[in-house]
Amino acid sequence: MFVLAGVVALIACLFFLYGKTKSIRRIKIHGQGVLITGCDTGFGHQLVQRLDEMGFTVFAGCLSDKSQGAETLKRICTKRVHILQLDVTKSEDILQARKTVQKGCAAPGLWAVVNNAGIDSFGDIEFCTLDMYRRVAEVNLFGMIHVTKVFLPLVRKSKGRIVNVTSVKGVLSRPTISVYGATKFGAENFSDCLRLEMRKFGVKVSIIEPGNFGGLTGIVKDQNLKRLMNEMEIMWEHAEDDVKQAYGRAHLEGQFTGLHKALETCSPTMKPVIDALEDALVNERPSVRYLVDGGRGLVDWYNLYARIHYYLPSKWMDFVLDTSWNRGIR
């Protein structure tokens, strides 16, 4: 009883601390450049529009500069928005983007880079192929690293910002997310190291950790959803007989049934994440981390677990996560 009361008190204190508002001193916006990756859909797509309205010069990196999302941005945004062909796994795209950015924001300079591009994969470790680990890491981790290294000299000169979008899954692990989670944990470490190294140059580094917003973004929709379903078949086909017998086909299929209902369980709006991204870019004293609650209920359970797991023994958290996983709280 005493332990339970202590946990409840701790949770209440955390909600109080995270819910506190602080006075914000914002930078003056005069056309500074911001490069954003992954703007075809999701957070990147929405952030381009928000920053355009605020008066930034925006370089919107899209997987294809002729995608539906890219064409939409061309139609609805002002001339301050420049659409770039930017596949973060391709060196030639990144280097060409730097040339375009250098020409497009020579006077006000490049204020910030927002590393937002990402893809997902699901599955138990015994089912996931090495190709899945490599492909997701090329986008989520090595793409982020490459873009940052190429553009960091420009940001360093402006004493600007690097803002990296990770995930609550880069804070707390759970079953079936090792492919995605390994890249997000890596991105957290990369961001922390970068922040410490950039302190002497006046460059601020922030991490955005969205909770349950996946159904709104492109990460589990349309072509990406089809890719994930195809991966399920590939995993089953390549699994050894012993693995198939140990887990069973129904176990594998059960992990993917929820993807089709992602829109029903995630946050109804991306606004909390876009607000966090905006704050990281314009607040004179941005937070190091923004753990952003999503979901449809009163509590984003996974984010709550992420907040308390630092204070509880690992065995306790294993029990909580295992119980929640079996009850379908994901």
Q: Is residue 40 part of a domain?
A: yes
> Do the domain assignments include residue 313?
no
> Is pLDDT of 262 > 90?
no
| Per-residue pLDDT tens over the stretch 278-310 | 999 999 999 999 999 998 888 899 899 999 999
β-strand partners of 207: 164, 289
- The answer to whether residue 6 is domain-embedded is no
CA angle (306, 210, 161) in 5-degree steps: 110
Neighbours of 119 (CB within 10 A): 20
Q: Does residue 330 lie within any of the structural domains?
A: no
pLDDT beyond 80 at 108: no
Residue 14 is assigned to a structural domain of this protein: no
Catalytic, 180? Answer: yes
Residue 325 lies in a domain: no
In a domain, 158, yes or no: yes
Instruction: Measure the CA–CA gap between 56 and 50, rounded to whole angstroms.
Output: 9
Answer whether 0.75 is exceeded by the pTM: yes
Among 64, 39, 67, which Cα is nearest to 52's?
39
Predicted pLDDT of residue 324: 81
Q: What is the pLDDT of residue 7?
A: 56
Work out the average pLDDT over 22-42.
Answer: 91
* Percentage of residues in the chain having pLDDT higher than 90: 74
Q: Provide the b/e sequence for 141-170 (b: ≥16 CB within 10 Å).
A: bbbbebbbebbbebbeebebbbbbbbbbbb
Residue 208 neighbours by CB under 8 Å, 6+ apart: 163, 164, 165, 166, 273, 276, 277, 280, 290, 292
Spatial separation of the C-alpha atoms in residues 193 and 154, rounded to whole Å: 19
pLDDT score at 287: 98
Q: What mean pLDDT is predicted for residues 8-20?
A: 51
Phi-psi region of 176 (alpha: psi -120 to 50; beta: other; left: phi over 0): left
- Per the structure, the complete domain to which residue 138 belongs is given by 29-298
Number of compact structural domains in the chain: 1
Is the pLDDT confidence value at 20 over 60?
A: no
In a domain, 88, yes or no: yes
Q: How far apart are the first and last CA of the chain?
A: 27
Give the model's confidence band at 325: pLDDT under 50 very low, under 70 low, under 90 confident, else very high.
confident
The pLDDT value recorded for residue 13 is 55
**pLDDT (tens digit, 9 = 90+) per residue, 73-103?**
999 999 999 999 999 999 999 999 999 999 9
User: What pLDDT does residue 65 have?
Assistant: 94
* pLDDT tens digits for range 185-244: 999 999 999 999 999 999 999 999 999 988 787 666 667 778 888 899 999 999 999 999
Output the 3-class SS for 91-124. HHHHHHHHHHHHHHCCCCCEEEEEECCCCCCCCC
| CATH code: domain of residue 94 | 3.40.50.720
The catalytic residue among 133, 180, 310, 311 is 180
Give the chain's length: 330
